[in-house]
Amino acid sequence: MFTKIYNWSSSWTGTIIIVLTIIFFIAQAFVIPSGSMKNTLLIGDMLFVKKYTYGIPTPRIPWLEVKVLPDFNDNGHLIEGPRPKRGDIVVFRYPKNDSIHYVKRAVATGGDIIALSDKKLLLHPKEGNEFVKANYPKENIVQIGDKLWVINPYKIKHPGIHNDDTVVNNGYNPSQLFDMMPILVPEDETFMMGDNRDHSNDSRFWGTVPYKYIVGTPWFVYFSWDENKEVRWDRVLKSVESIEENTDMKNIKIQHQEGIY
């Protein structure tokens, strides 16, 4: 039996089926194409996406983006799973063109209220004021009306999140970077933002991401090189959590990229 299995897996048919099974249900390679997640994820990071974190997405043939099976559950997933949590880095399909993959951080989930004031992210979690008091430091909380809001709730735990001081509200830059009226995130949807806050094309511009477009979360970086094709060995075979924990973000020179991407 083992000989037959080995011979089958060594054949072209067996190899293709095994590879597609892994890509469909377990992991898929993904290359960071832009700097919207600097300095957490960098241009040239090559990572595996864990595809079963939020359920099993409806399988598609890689590169061709052709669905192998129908969307039986009408939610983009063959097997439904948990939804993204606040602070997760999520790989998802761009809602305006689902053949394109984006990677951003989930900053608000269904039922949360989110706003921007002078670049500061304000979050009122759906759990309410008592939840805010119990889970966030007093110096990060502000009261507006009858609601308690958390100011920049993710910057302490995720030091790669930053703003570009050269991007100012002078009328030439998009107004969405600076201020946004409070938005109630619809149920089963997620508000996404890039860690490179002033150089990220995200939910501030095109809205929240429904669960049907969620693909997975970064697993680990299997290879990384910079624009000069020099290998960044300190990032190879590291999880995103490990990179965040072991990198001194304060001493990294951030090279902002012009424009929204």
List average pLDDT for each run of 10 residues in the chain, which is 261 residues long.
75 80 89 91 95 95 86 94 97 95 97 97 97 96 96 93 93 94 97 96 97 96 93 94 76 68 80
CA angle, residues 149, 215, 135, in degrees to nearest 5: 25
Q: What is the reported pLDDT for 200?
A: 96
- Give the model's pLDDT for residue 250: 56
The predicted structure's pLDDT at residue 179: 97
Residue 249's pLDDT is 57
Catalytic residue check, 200: no
252 token code pair: 């990294």
The active-site residue, picked from 38, 51, 104, 238, is 104
Q: State the pLDDT at residue 248.
A: 63
User: CA 208, CA 202: separation in Å to the nearest integer?
Assistant: 9
Q: At what angle do helices 2-10 and 12-25 cross, to 10 degrees?
A: 80
- pLDDT, residue 4, reads 73
Contacts of 134 (CB under 8 A, 6+ apart): none
CA neighbor of 152 nearest in space, from 181, 119, 198? 119
The pLDDT assigned to 55 comes to 96
36 is catalytic: yes
Residue 123 β-bridge partners = 114, 150
- Neighbour count for residue 35 (Cβ, 10 Å): 20
Provide the 3-class DSSP secondary structure of residue 27.
strand
Global model pTM greater than 0.75: yes
At residue 48's C-alpha, the angle toward residues 42 and 53, to 5°, is 110
Q: How many C-beta neighbours within 10 Å does residue 200 have? A: 24
pLDDT at 255: 65
Model pLDDT for residues 42-101, shown as the tens digit of each residue? 999 999 999 999 999 999 988 888 888 999 999 999 999 999 999 999 999 999 999 999
What integer pLDDT is reported at residue 75 of this predicted model? 95
Q: State both tokens at 209.
A: 């991401």
Of 36, 200, 203, 224, the active-site residue reads 36
DSSP summary character for residue 34: S
What is 138-176 written as a DSSP string? GGGEEEETTEEEEESTTTTT-TT-B--TT---SSSS-GG
- What is the Cα–Cα distance from 97 to 86, expressed in whole angstroms? 24
